[in-house]
Amino acid sequence: MPDSPTLAVCFGEGMVALVAAAAGPLEDCRTFHRSLAGAEWNTAIALASAGIRTAVVSRVGDDGFGRFLRAELRAHGVDDSAVQVDADAPTGLYVKELAPRADGAVDGTMHYYRSGSAASAMSPQTLAEPRTSALLAEAALVHTSGITPALSASALAAQESLLADRRPDSLLSFDLNWRPALWRGRVAEGKSVVSDFARRADIVFCTRPDAEAVFGTSDPQELRVLFPEPRYLLVTDSGGAVAYDGTERAESEALDAPVVETIGAGDAFAAGFLAGVLTGLSLTGSLARGHRIATRALVSTRDHVD
């Protein structure tokens, strides 16, 4: 359970993941396992597991899936009091199809069913609700991602409000999480939006493939030149990470650990790094903590750590 008085708030969509029980084509799978998913929610659970007091700001449907998600947050020590319940719109979900790999691990492919979800109706009013407003006023760190502004115009407005109204003594963390399918037909707009949020954040995470797709380069030094504004910039791939704190640079290799599936490892890594920053670790210490927590997301087909 969390043991730190420092509060981190994660803002974004939570979803139910229905994970195929066995690898193979979706049409052949008869059994699915239910679990919590959603980038910011995965990060929240991992932050709480690292001893950081954590809350989620979001919206779910007034349905069984929404109740399940809120219960899962509470079971992992995350404050769900600012997760609003929508009486009409459903909780979003996705189905994860698994394909076997030669090394014994599996690759996951996500099939999303989130259009018109309760979370897509997030708006500036969501942030103005009394409980949410109180949490944001107390938070030492707010974490969000490039997924949220892609959900709807109102969700984009909410994220814009989040950055515009944040306290000067709090940190804003932004994980690029580029999802081109969510920006279909407006990719140029999406790249502009996430680039703007990255420039205005204090801490930015991006994978090399996402950076290449959005910014045209995956080279960490070139990315630092393109984005000098964030204090911390982290560029990751399966082999490790390069991190900047101002002009200080550190590199680290991923820990040697068994891999079942990689989805969710980036969210866990971000949580470990953020926990390091919040508890006063050095840049290299925060990187090490990120890698340690990331290994816990690699050992199952769930998206979050236990």
Give catalytic residues, as residue numbers: 267
**184: exposed, middle or buried (C-beta count within 10 Å: 0-12, 13-18, 19+)?**
exposed
How many other C-beta atoms lie within 10 A of the C-beta of residue 130? 8
| Terminal CA-CA length for the chain | 12
Task: Name the pairing type of β-strands 32-37 and 93-100.
Answer: unpaired
How many other C-beta atoms lie within 10 A of the C-beta of residue 264? 28
